[in-house]
Amino acid sequence: MPLFPTERSVRTTPEGLLWEPCERWVRGVKGEVTVVDSRHPVLVWEPEGIPVPRYAFPREEVRTDLLRPAEKPPTGTHTGSTIFYDLEVDGARMANAAWTFPAADLAGHIAFEWFLRRDDGLDHWYEEEEEIFVHPRDPHKRVDAVRSSRHVQVEIDGTVVADTRRPVLVFETGLPTRYYVPVEDVRLDLFEPTEHRTSCPYKGTARYWTFAGRADVPRNIVWSYPEPLPAVGAIEGYLAFFNEAVDLVVDGERLERPVTLFSKSLTK
């Protein structure tokens, strides 16, 4: 085997699925019951929808005795003609909690629905001894939080709401650079906290603020990670703005507003 491989280990199926073996020990737990205990998972990317990986597991590493044929299987939610299962644990039944992919490469594997299922999916997922959230982390994606001395200004409708020379820049594969600003350098008196929360498998759980002025901007335009994951600890307590909806001036250069997968979700 070459010391520096030049090809990724990702395979492609005729159905358009991408998949890759993973060497992490992955477990999924519901209540006190371990439903998945796998040392041979695979990561699967579907060709449509949000481009995040999901895990699929060999059947022998899944508590298939807890799976029941789905009473009301959905249509069009995953690639190909899938078979869905309900999960029954301690008398509670979770509809369409698991499914199989039609690809021959993935025959004998079962995937579990946990992306965006906070209430009716499994309670906890672990890679080795570390709990993971939202969806598996993509091994081909980097998220780096880098301290900087760039001069960053944020404007909303011509008003400077943040001005700093000590930002932390977050470089995340596939997304525009996010500029995190110390709270002392933000006009926080112009914003109101909201109850909105989101979770990220790379950064943690974020809280949000909405602009209190009259400008026509989306709600929840500002966010912060009060307890970020260790890999991005530099952003703790810093605030970031959606580049898609504010004006950013970096070292005197006004940046173009990007269009991203978040653009449509920014509602006014």
Same domain, yes or no: 187 and 88: no
Q: Helix (H, G, I), strand (E, B), or coil: what is residue 237?
A: coil
Each of the 268 residues of the chain gets a pLDDT tens digit; together they read 444 444 558 888 888 889 999 999 999 999 999 999 999 999 999 887 677 899 999 999 999 999 999 999 887 777 766 799 999 999 889 999 999 988 888 999 999 987 655 556 788 999 999 998 888 999 999 999 999 999 999 999 999 999 999 999 999 998 999 999 999 999 999 999 999 999 899 999 999 999 998 878 899 999 999 999 999 999 999 999 999 999 999 999 999 999 887 877 776 5
Domain count for the chain, please give it.
2
What one-character DSSP code corresponds to residue 62?
A: B
Same domain, yes or no: 189 and 223: yes
- Quote the pTM value: 0.84
Radius of gyration of the chain (CA): 21
Same domain, yes or no: 51 and 80: yes
Let me know if residue 65 belongs to a domain: yes
Using alpha carbons, list the distances in angstroms from residue 123 to 113, 126, 198, 226, 240.
12, 10, 17, 23, 29
- Compute the Cα dihedral for 209, 214, 215, 219 and give only its sign: positive
Q: What is the pLDDT of residue 229?
A: 92
Residue 256, token pair as written in the block? 């173009």
In angstroms, the CA 221 to CA 244 distance is 9
Same domain, yes or no: 206 and 119: no
Same domain, yes or no: 157 and 57: no
Same domain, yes or no: 150 and 112: no
Q: What is the pLDDT of residue 103?
A: 87
Residue carrying the six token digits 């004998």 = 108
Cβ(141)–Cβ(172) below 8 Å: yes
Q: SS3 sequence, 96-129?
A: EEEEECCCHHHCCEEEECCCCCCCCCCCEEEECC
Of 88, 109, 132, the residue at which a domain comes to its end is 132
Of 98, 132, 166, the residue at which a domain comes to its end is 132
Q: Which domain holds residue 65?
A: 11-132
Same domain, yes or no: 99 and 192: no
Same domain, yes or no: 208 and 108: no
Q: What is the pLDDT of residue 118?
A: 57
- Compute the Cα dihedral for 65, 66, 67, 69 and give only its sign: positive
Q: Helix (H, G, I), strand (E, B), or coil: what is residue 264?
A: helix
Same domain, yes or no: 128 and 149: no
Same domain, yes or no: 125 and 149: no
Residues 6 or more apart from 191 whose CB is under 8 A from it?
161, 209, 210, 211, 212, 222
Let me know if residue 92 belongs to a domain: yes
Let me know if residue 4 belongs to a domain: no
Of 77, 105, 132, the residue at which a domain comes to its end is 132
Same domain, yes or no: 101 and 210: no
User: Which CATH number covers residue 219?
Assistant: 2.170.150.40
In angstroms, the CA 103 to CA 145 distance is 38
Same domain, yes or no: 57 and 90: yes
